């Protein structure tokens, strides 16, 4: 049986279960289909409709809305992802990862909403403590806001706890925005040496990666 036929059968099965109060398991299945890279246009449309239908059946289920938010962000639909993360927080305001992710999205949208982004990431830190992943997001928001020295200080604290290639990259970006070229190149090289590749980053961060990569070539 061809892969395309398997997708059609899987979608048929999911659609037949819609009237049976399918629950979170069905949304996970539909999202799994939606992430396939070889869906044809008709299958992709069916999947999108199915995902929206299931999401509409569980508007107050934070777990379902979380899955939808994560799916839409992965697909590059940041507007829908933002809407779904807000839905998660409406019903579970202490969802630390949703607070973190929504803060990041708001700071990177077409119209950066930095005040709210700062409030959300601070709320996450207040709930979970200054864990490195949250500090990394906070520093990224500070960099977008032009508060680069603060971003450097926050990232240094995060890296003391957990040193990752992505955090080294974010530190390089903060230094680069401060026009400290030598520090930017140093930390970008550390990020590359730790295994960072461009595909590790969100699409919205790739311009910074490419700019820094050019700086290394000129160093």
CATH number at residue 188: 1.25.40.10
Domain identity same for 88 and 15: yes
Integer Cα distance of 146 and 28 in angstroms: 39
What tokens appear for 48 in the block? 């999108």
Helix (H, G, I), strand (E, B) or coil at 23: coil
- Where is pLDDT greater, at 25 or 42? 42
Does 149 fall in a domain? Answer: yes
Does 71 fall in a domain? Answer: yes
**CA distances, 101 to each of 85, 109, 112 (Å):** 8, 12, 14
Does 169 fall in a domain? Answer: yes
Contact 69, 30 (CB under 8 A): no
Segment 114-133 mean pLDDT: 97
Please say if the pLDDT value at position 135 is more than 90. Answer: yes
Contact 4, 40 (CB under 8 A): yes
Measured from the Cβ of residue 167, the count of other Cβ atoms closer than 10 Å reads: 26
In the chain, the number of structural domains is: 2
Please say if the pLDDT value at position 167 is more than 70. Answer: yes
What tokens appear for 193 in the block? 């040496």
What tokens appear for 55 in the block? 């999401």
What tokens appear for 33 in the block? 């289909």
Residue % of the chain over a pLDDT of 70:
95
Domain containing residue 14? 1-92
Confidence of residue 149 (pLDDT cuts 50, 70, 90): very high
Mark which of 92, 116, 146 sits at the end of a domain.
92
Does 115 fall in a domain? Answer: no
Does 80 fall in a domain? Answer: yes
Integer Cα distance of 139 and 149 in angstroms: 10
Does 125 fall in a domain? Answer: no
Residue % of the chain over a pLDDT of 90:
62
- Where is pLDDT greater, at 51 or 18? 51
Mark which of 92, 109, 143 sits at the end of a domain.
92
Please say if the pLDDT value at position 125 is more than 70. Answer: yes
Integer Cα distance of 31 and 23 in angstroms: 13
Q: Which pLDDT score, from 0 to 100, does residue 219 have?
A: 60
Integer Cα distance of 216 and 67 in angstroms: 38
Q: What is the pTM of this model?
A: 0.87
Does 104 fall in a domain? Answer: no
Segment 15-44 mean pLDDT: 82
Mark which of 92, 122, 156 sits at the end of a domain.
92
Domain identity same for 165 and 211: yes
Segment 18-32 mean pLDDT: 78
């Amino acid at each position: 049986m061809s892969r395309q036929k398997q997708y059609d059968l899987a979608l048929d099965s999911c659609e037949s279960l819609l009237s049976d109060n399918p629950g979170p398991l069905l949304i996970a299945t539909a999202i799994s289909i939606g992430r396939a890279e070889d869906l044809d246009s008709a299958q992709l449309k069916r999947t999108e409709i199915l995902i929206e239908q299931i999401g509409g059946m569980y508007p107050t289920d934070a777990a379902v809305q979380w899955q939808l938010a994560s799916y839409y962000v992965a697909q590059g639909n940041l507007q829908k992802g933002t809407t779904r993360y807000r839905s998660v927080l409406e019903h579970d305001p202490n969802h630390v990862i949703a607070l973190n992710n929504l803060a990041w999205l708001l700071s990177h949208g077409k119209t950066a909403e930095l005040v709210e982004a700062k409030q959300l990431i601070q709320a996450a830190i207040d709930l979970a403590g200054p864990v490195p992943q949250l500090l990394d997001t906070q520093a990224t928001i500070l960099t977008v806001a032009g508060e680069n020295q603060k971003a450097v200080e926050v990232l240094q604290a995060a890296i003391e706890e957990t040193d990752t290639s992505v955090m080294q990259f974010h530190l390089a970006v903060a230094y680069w925005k401060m026009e400290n070229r030598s520090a930017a190149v140093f930390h970008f090289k550390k990020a590359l040496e730790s295994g960072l590749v461009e595909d590790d980053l969100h699409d919205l961060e790739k311009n910074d990666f490419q700019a820094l990569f050019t700086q290394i070539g000129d160093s």
